[in-house]
Structure 1
Amino acid sequence: MRTWNDYKDHVKKVDPETGKDMEEAEEMAAIILAMIEQRQALGLSQRELAHRCGMPQSSIARIESCAAMPKIGTILSVL
Structure 2
Amino acid sequence: MQLIDLFNVPTSLMLRVPTFDGSIKLGHWDKMVIQFAALSMATIFGGIHCLAWPFTFVTHEEQLLWRICALAITGIP
The TM-score, its normalising length taken from structure 2, stands at 0.44
Instruction: Identify which of structures 1 and 2 has the higher relative contact order when contacts are C-alpha pairs closer than 8 Å and 6+ apart.
Output: 2
Structure number with larger C-alpha Rg: 2
Which structure shows the bigger proportion of residues in helix conformation?
Answer: 1
